[in-house]
Structures are given as C-alpha cells and as structure tokens.
Structure 1
Amino acid sequence: MEKLLAARLHAVKVRPYLAAALFALHVVEDRSVPTMAVDAYWRCYVSPAFVALMPVEELAGVWVHEVSHLLRDHHGRGERYAREHEAHGPGERLRRNIAADFEINDDIYGEGLPRPTGAVLPSLLGLDNGLLMEEYLRTASLSGTAAELAWLDCGGGADGQARPWELGPDGAHGLSRQQRDAVRFRVAEGMRGKPGDAPEGWRRWADEAFHPPQPWRRLLGAAVRSAVGAQGAGANHSYRRPSRRSASVPGVLLPSLRPAPPRVCVVIDTSGSVSDAELGTALLEVAAISRAVGGRRDLVSVISCDAAAGIAVPLCRAERIELIGGGGTDLRSGFERALRSRPDVVVALTDGQTPWPSAAPSCRTVVGLFPRPMRAADEDDSGYVPDAPPSWARVVTIG
C-alpha cells in the first residue's frame, strides 16, 4: 500500500489537474485481479503482486490510466455500445476494453509519466491516434491479437461489464452518481482554469463536461434511430450476426442485413440575432450529433445559413468549422441546400426568427430552438411575431 500511494502522489505531481479524481478512488486489495482495475463506482481493485513488480513511475501511469476510464465514462459508453450493437460475451468485452485503452493511451503519457509496460496503443492495429472509443470499435479488428491481449482487464469501469470481484452498487466505499458527477466537474474546472497544462484531448473533454446533457440530444438520438429503421433505408450485409435463413441452407453461412448508418445534415442559423455563445453551443451539438451516428464524421455535414445558405461542409473536426453569416434569417434556403445531399435527418439549430419551408422535407427533421423572451422580433414592426416551427418538425429548446 505504501508503494501504491507513493505512485499516486507522483501521478498527482505530474498531472495536477487529475488530483481530485485520483484522490476520489478507493483502493480495494484483491489477489484475483490481474493488474489494476476500476468499477463504475470509483473503486480501484489492485493485485499486490502487480504492484510489487511495477516501478513507482510506471505505477503512477497505471493510476492515471484507470482514472481516465472513469472520467471519460467508458462504463456508460461501453454499456450503450453493447446494447445498441448486441455485442456481448468475453470477446466483445475485450474489444471494448482495448478500444477504451486506445482512446486514452495515445495522449496521457510523457512529461514525467512513463508509459507502463504492456500499455496498448492504436498503432498496434495500424490505427490513428486521437479517435474515440466508438470509432476504434467500428474500425478495429482483433484478428491474430486476441490471444496475446487476453490478459487485459481494466474492470467494469472500462467497458461496462461487471466482474466477479466487484462490490457492486451496494458495496462499501462506492460513490453515488451525484458524487461521481461532482468529481468530473472539479477536474474539468481545473483543466479549464489552466488550459495550457492539459493535452488537447483532455481540454476537449473538459469543455464537454461543462456543457450539460440536453433533452435535445435524446430527441436527436430517437430521430436518428427512427431514420435508420425507416422503410426503404439502405442496408449492408454483415456476418457479425448470421442470417436466420442459414438454417435452410445446410453448410452455408448467410450474412444478415444491417441498417446503413444515417446521413445527417445540420443547418446552423448564423444570422445577427444568434449570439456567439449560441453558435459555440451549436458547434458542441454538432460534435454530439457525430457521436450519435457512431462517431462517423463522414456522415455529418454542416451548412451555415443567414439570409442565404452556404456550402455544405463535411464534418472533420467540429472545432475547425467556420460559421459564416451575420445578416438576416431565411432558413428556407438552408433546407433547400441540405436536401440536395438527400440526408436521412435534417437538424436545424436556430432562434426560430425565420420563415419556414411551406412543405415538409422528404426526410425526418429536428429543430433545436435557442430560447428567446416573448417580445417582438422585428424592431421596425412592433406587431411582428415570428412563425412557430411547423408541425412536421420535432422541436426542442436548447439550454
């Protein structure tokens, strides 16, 4: 225990912005744990033999690695991925653990924190750095590597699947949901206070932690899922889940049909009545939309629109999107431009002070409204009241 706590102090020294999270972990000694692992309730299960073998500096890296799983909610994200993709069993659990490790290992080491022996990097499978766990799960293949990585087990806090040694929600020294959220908030607050001390991936995480979850995102997710299951939506063949028709053809394995991922076009109102802060919120929502379609940035395009629509820009990085506008508002041109790409879902982010298309688009439409006080929108016409969004759009207030 003395060596383990010394390693934690070293981790706090070289990564001070993670101090609140590192000290929030409760240590549980357990000889059945392969190395170190965490559960969703911020308990850290530790093998004494593993601690004895590791140098203090590398052990500090393991501390940072494990707490990173919890801060980035790999438990919740892993559960959602398993549920949505019907990906259960030991092999799928290992895939989620490896993908979560890839997301955090590419930028947490260095500068006084050596990479521990055995830490896996995206380059192991020829993948790029800087991607999300969901993106690695979509692209990674474990052919030929599963056997050599079978030892890897960071616990339920890394992939959403509980382990036999975990104490569960009713066990001692677990943190409640409110306590876990408070720890994340304190860490994010520290990173935003000294942004130069944290890598870009952590700064992006801190910005999202300060942007509270919106009912808007759940609504968008429902619209996306509805678009995927719509009659006539495209489909891909997949052997991940064999077709039920295989039973009628002995000796032949037939693929099943999987829904094609939806294409989303986001129309952002850039008129003068939309503030810079609201445009910043819109960009954060674009990043959330990208995650809603499984991290497929190639499926999301963005259109800036005031009185006229700009060019549909493919989403590469939400932080680099240039929003052009500042004049009047007419989202009809934005909808017209968006429908040229034949998306499955059109998302409009606006303050609502705009004319709307007279006819419903041929795809599902979601409108995110920035709230406005009840007053006239046109200073030259005190009797002017903007039209409410049409009934064919699913509407929710942002913020």
Structure 2
Amino acid sequence: MTKLLAARYRAATDRPYLASALYALSVVASTDVPTMGVDRHWRCYVSPAFVDATPVGELAAVWVHEVAHLLRDHHGRAERLPAADQRDPHRVNVAQDCEINDDLIADGLPLPAGRMEPRLFGLPTGQLFEAYLPGVPQGPPPHNCGSGAHGQPMPWELAGSDGPSCLGPVEAEALRRHTAEAMRAHRRSRGTLPAGWERWAEQVLEPTVDWRQALAGAVREAAAWAAGAIDYTYRRPSRRSAALRGVVLPSLRRPLPRVAVVIDTSGSMGDEELASALAEVTGVLREVGIRGNRVTVLACDADVQSVSRVTAAEQITLGGGGGTDMRVGIAAALAARDRPNIVVVLTDGYTPWPDESPSCRLVAALIGSDAPQPPGWVETVRVVS
C-alpha cells in the first residue's frame, strides 16, 4: 500500500490538475483483478502482485490512466454505443485505452509494457474511442480496466454504490468540472497541457450540444404539446353512459398531431446535412406514432415547388432555386385543408420569417454553423456537421 500511495502522490505532484480526481479514488485490494481497474463508483481495484512487480513511475502512469477512464465518462459513453458493441466490452476497453494512452505517451508518462495505443492498429492519434472502435480487432485485451471503463460489471468488483468510499453521479460530474477548471488554470499559468486533456477540459466547460438529440427533443416535445389538446368525441361513447339511462356521454380523446416539414431547396442548401436533419425528424415522428398522411413535406425556395409525402431521407430531390423565402412554405402549410399542429423548417437560415408566431409550434433546424438567428419566438436547433 505504501508503494501504491507513493505512486499516486507522484502522479498528483507531477500533474496537479489531476490531484483532486486521483485522491477521490478509494483503493480496494484484490487478487482477482489482473492489474488495476475502476468501477463507475470511483473505486480503484488493485492487484498486490502487480504493485510489487511494477516500478513507482509506471504505477503513477497507471493511476493517471485509470482516473482518465472516469474523468472522460467512458462508462457513460459506452452505454450509448450500439448494442452489438456493448456486448464486446473487451474491444471497447481497447479503444478506450487507445484514446487515453496516446495522450499519456505524448505527455511522457512511462506506461507499462503491453499498453494499447492507436499505432498498433494502424490508427491515427488524437481520436475519441468511438472513432477507434471500428478499427479495433476482436480479442481480449492484456488487462481489464473494469466497469468504470467499458460499463460491464466485473466479478472482482464490489456490489452496491452506497458508503463513504463511493462517488455518485452528481459528485462525479462536479469533480469533472473542478478538474477541467484546474486544467484551464494550469494552461494559463504554465502554458503546457497535453492536447487530449485540453480538448476534454474545453468540452466539459463549454459543452457542444449534439444537434441530433436537440432536434429530436424539440420535435418530440412539440408533438407531446400538440397531442395534449384533449377533446371530447361521441364516436366512442363514455363507459359511464351505462350508469345514466337515456343519456350518452362523450369520451375523451387525445388527437394525433399533423406535421408539416418545410424544406429549403434553394441552391445554398447542402444535400448531406439536409438529409441528416430530415432523417432525424422523420425518425422521431415515427417513434411517436406520426407517419403516413399525417406528415406533409413542402419543398420551397422562393415558392412552393412541391407538396409530397416524403418519409425517408433518400427520397429527397433538391432543386436549386433562385431566392429563398420560407414564409411562403409556412403559409402554404397552414393554409392546407389538414392544418398542421407542428411545422418543422429545414433551412440554412438565409430567409425572411413571418412577422409573428403562427398558431402552431414552429421548429427551425438551421443547417450550418453560420446560419443567421431567426426571431426569438422560433424554436431553433443548429445542425452542424
């Protein structure tokens, strides 16, 4: 234990911005863990035999490696992988080690032999593990970093998340932010910080919102709002009518919203970004049960070019028009016999907008990072490739 804690002290002294995270780890000795590993509750499992056989300098590097899994939320990110990848935790672990180790090697840390790094698989450095994963072959890694890395509980891990030795999700997130702020301060005072850690700190302190999640959330929330317009109907009499002889009571119904998707088909629009945005919209609509004749797609530049039932991204055909005026498409959608409850506009933003909010939910998916901001009453999601 003395040797192990001396290695942690060296790691924290050499890289003070990691000190709080390193000392937040609680140590659990285990003869079952191959080397060192962590669980999602910030417990670090350590093999006594591995400590005996490893120099202090290399142990310090392993400390940094293991805490990096938790700081980078590898277990949380692993849970968002496709199911097939989640079923192969060893391969996920290798990809995660590649993400960490290329930064640690560039920082001069003496990692033990057998380390995983991108060059072993012909992969470039500086990538996230999600990008490395397709290039990692199947097969068990030389060691296992635990559920704090790949997300799958290991037999040598303690059960439960209670007790003073565990960190909960809220405390862990606060510690990540504290560490990121310490890295930024270190960068300003000393001017040196490994590129991988610098990118991570900036992401924590100034996170980039995934436009797919934001767009899906906006469409889903608008659909829930429109579906909340509960009304009465006599098409299906209330079951309470049986208690009142000669009286027919209406039942409550929750209508399924109608949706209009206005697509900017002017020449400035990019096919790939537009297809991605439409795929997200149609996917969410199918998920909430809105499809078929309840979705109208209007292709519009300075005029409405077509009105159709496009239901998939591959069905898009863009025509380069002269001007751009999404007001025309919005007005045409609202003037239809089946008036929509939700209008989604896919545009690069270089268009005039209506002078006031229409009597429906309006969501704008702005294609491109430099798209102008629409009026404040427009629900806006920026689609950036």
**What is the TM-score when the length of structure 2 is the normalising length?**
0.59
**Given the alignment, which residue of 140, 153, 158 partners 1:162?**
153
**1:123 lines up with 2:94 in the alignment:** no
- Contact conserved, 1:58 with 1:114, CA < 8 A, in 2? yes
CA 1:120/1:336 → structure 2, altered by over 3 Å: closer, same or farther?
A: same
RMSD: 3.6
Matched with 1:139 is 135
**1:337 lines up with 2:332 in the alignment:** no
Aligned length: 262
- Contact conserved, 1:27 with 1:46, CA < 8 A, in 2? yes
Q: Distance in 2 between matches of 1:342 and 1:212?
A: 21
- How far 1:171 moved relative to its partner? 4.2
Q: Distance in 1 between matches of 2:130 and 2:205?
A: 21
State the AA in 2 paired with 1:31. T
State the AA in 2 paired with 1:207. E
Matched with 1:206 is 201
- Secondary structure, in 3 states, of the residue corresponding to 2:65? helix
- Listed one character per residue, the Cα deviations across residues 85-137 of structure 1 (whole Å, up to 9, x for unaligned) are 43344xx1111000000111001135552122221111111111111111111
CA 1:186/1:50 → structure 2, altered by over 3 Å: closer, same or farther?
A: same
- Secondary structure, in 3 states, of the residue corresponding to 1:207? helix
Q: Distance in 2 between matches of 1:198 and 1:344?
A: 39
- Secondary structure, in 3 states, of the residue corresponding to 2:28? strand
- Listed one character per residue, the Cα deviations across residues 241-294 of structure 1 (whole Å, up to 9, x for unaligned) are xxxxxxxxxxxxxxxxxxxxxxxxxxxxxxxxxxxxxxxxxxxxxxxxxxxxxx
State the AA in 2 paired with 1:358. V
Q: Distance in 2 between matches of 1:217 and 1:368?
A: 16
**Given the alignment, which residue of 83, 103, 106 partners 2:99?**
103
Matched with 1:5 is 5
Structure 1, gaps ≥5 residues long: 226-331, 348-353, 370-383
Matched with 1:179 is 171
CA 1:4/1:336 → structure 2, altered by over 3 Å: closer, same or farther?
A: same
Q: Distance in 1 between matches of 2:161 and 2:102?
A: 34
CA 1:29/1:340 → structure 2, altered by over 3 Å: closer, same or farther?
A: closer
Q: Distance in 2 between matches of 1:166 and 1:39?
A: 7
**1:359 lines up with 2:329 in the alignment:** yes
Q: Distance in 1 between matches of 2:348 and 2:161?
A: 39
State the AA in 1 paired with 2:155. P
- Secondary structure, in 3 states, of the residue corresponding to 1:44? strand
- How far 1:77 moved relative to its partner? 0.8
Q: Distance in 1 between matches of 2:13 and 2:326?
A: 56
More off after superposition, 103-112 vs 48-57: 103-112
- How far 1:366 moved relative to its partner? 6.4
Q: Distance in 2 between matches of 1:198 and 1:79?
A: 29
- Contact conserved, 1:18 with 1:187, CA < 8 A, in 2? yes
- Secondary structure, in 3 states, of the residue corresponding to 2:32? coil
Alignment of 1:72-87 (within 5 A): 72-81=72-81, 84-87=82-85
Alignment of 1:261-276 (within 5 A): none
Q: Distance in 2 between matches of 1:357 and 1:340?
A: 21
- How far 1:159 moved relative to its partner? 0.6
- How far 1:194 moved relative to its partner? 2.4
Q: Share of identical aligned residues, percent?
A: 44
- Contact conserved, 2:94 with 2:141, CA < 8 A, in 1? no
**1:57 lines up with 2:57 in the alignment:** yes
Q: Distance in 2 between matches of 1:103 and 1:221?
A: 29
State the AA in 1 paired with 2:153. A
- How far 1:199 moved relative to its partner? 1.1
Matched with 2:312 is none
- Contact conserved, 1:223 with 1:345, CA < 8 A, in 2? no
Q: Distance in 2 between matches of 1:191 and 1:209?
A: 11
Q: Distance in 1 between matches of 2:119 and 2:179?
A: 29
**1:93 lines up with 2:84 in the alignment:** no
- How far 1:41 moved relative to its partner? 0.9
- How far 1:392 moved relative to its partner? 6.2
Matched with 2:228 is none
Q: Distance in 2 between matches of 1:224 and 1:70?
A: 33
Q: Distance in 1 between matches of 2:43 and 2:122?
A: 33
- Contact conserved, 1:33 with 1:45, CA < 8 A, in 2? yes
Matched with 1:189 is 181
**What is the TM-score when the length of structure 1 is the normalising length?**
0.58
Q: Distance in 1 between matches of 2:266 and 2:277?
A: 8
- Secondary structure, in 3 states, of the residue corresponding to 1:61? helix
CA 1:367/1:212 → structure 2, altered by over 3 Å: closer, same or farther?
A: farther
- Secondary structure, in 3 states, of the residue corresponding to 1:120? coil
CA 1:72/1:215 → structure 2, altered by over 3 Å: closer, same or farther?
A: closer
Matched with 2:47 is 47
State the AA in 2 paired with 1:140. V
